[in-house]
Structure 1
Amino acid sequence: MRHFNKLSNTFAIVVLCAASIAWVTAAGAASFDCSQAKAADEKAICSDAQLSAMDSQMAGLWYGYKAMPLLMGASGNRQDEAQAFLKSRTACGADTACLTKLYEQRIATLQKNIDWAVKNYCGNQ
């Protein structure tokens, strides 16, 4: 029964993550306030519907991934990866091809990391 409860908690996290992704994607807007966009990358994201949707999808995945219980070292790596993404995004500037590729990679990485975290968490309970 204890294993079932922990599995139920993990399932609830995954459902919450999926719901947040659906909500953010349905909104179709960037994950940040475009009226406050100042940097070239932010302006490019706000002016491109595809990039804006990718940013929202990535933000939903990040929200779910951030909520996943991880070991201490993995938790620090998670934050380092997020900072590296933002640094790379800034380096892209207004280059939409660069931003698109970066978002595709980040979304794929977050999906892989969430899958890994769910499998690891369930396997260790």
Structure 2
Amino acid sequence: MPRKVIAAFLIATATTILTSSAEAAQPSFNCAKANAADEKAICADDKLAQMDQAVAIAYGQLTPAMKKDAKTMMRQSLANRAQCGSDKLCILNNQADQLVMLQDFGADVPMPPWVGRYVLTLFEQSGAKLTKGMPGKVGRCTKSKIASITTRFGEELVEPEDELDSSGSAVTYANGGYQVSYDYIPELAASEIGDEVLICLVSLPEDCPPGDDRGKYYSTTNVRTGGAWSLPDSQHMCGGA
């Protein structure tokens, strides 16, 4: 084969490989039909597209009965995501919250390890101002420091030998914020008192009795470790026990 032909072949092959490897990640929906601002933002961002796929796969793992139970919550979560518009940070926090919720229903898709760092990157890029105290509006964020890390019962947080025997996890912040889970949260266990965290409000409870606003969900990222968790501010939703 002549050298010029060989050279042309190699260039064409390299171009094909580079083009293939540079293709953007695709979300679970058809970007050609995307009209909403949040959908367009997901289509334009590889990591948001990957998270959309992770959420879709997690939902697909649920049993028919669990899908039925999760459907209402997923619809509300998608409505919350739509309110983010093109705000990538808001969308990512919403997606992380969706994935955690589906894990609670039985999905075993793990949180991508890059989520926490990307949350911090998006926040810095956004130039958004921090709120004072815990955020009260969806999409708003604040920074604080971890004041305590315990189980739900105030004991030392250590990994249980049997996950079914977990005493849960709880964290308090210097600004008075609090998050709790019935599960052992390894990213929280890897944190330390005094670590700086970015806390963003993901969703607010609905149809609550007067004076009872429990059930706010916050997405939190440890600035030092990059670990992230999405948890409510109470063991029970508003109107519950």
Report the TM-score when normalising by structure 2: 0.33
Q: Which moved more, 1:102-111 or 1:27-36?
A: 27-36
Report whether the alignment pairs 1:50 with 2:47: yes
Report the TM-score when normalising by structure 1: 0.62
By relative contact order (CA 8 Å, sep 6+), the higher-ranking structure is 1
Report whether the alignment pairs 1:92 with 2:84: yes
Give the alignment's Cα RMSD to 1 decimal.
2.3
Share of identical aligned residues, percent?
32
Offset from partner CA, 1:48-75 (integer Å, 9 cap, x none): 111000000000001112xx143xxx66
CA contact (8 A) 2:26 2:50 kept: yes
Structure 1: distance between partners of 2:56 and 2:67: 17
Structure 1: distance between partners of 2:33 and 2:83: 19
Runs of 4+ in 1 over 6 A off after TM superposition: none
Structure 2, unaligned runs of 5 or more: 1-23, 108-163, 165-241
Structure (1/2) with the larger helix percentage: 1
Q: 1:103 aligns with which of 68, 87, 95?
A: 95
Structure 1, unaligned runs of 5 or more: 1-26, 120-125
Report whether the alignment pairs 1:59 with 2:33: no
Could you tell me how far 1:77 is from its partner in structure 2? Answer: 3.3
CA contact (8 A) 2:37 2:85 kept: yes
> Which amino acid in structure 2 is aligned with residue 47 of structure 1?
A
Structure 1: distance between partners of 2:82 and 2:29: 15
Structure number with larger C-alpha Rg: 2
The 3-state SS of whatever aligns with 2:89 is helix
CA contact (8 A) 2:27 2:50 kept: yes
> Which amino acid in structure 1 is aligned with residue 85 of structure 2?
G
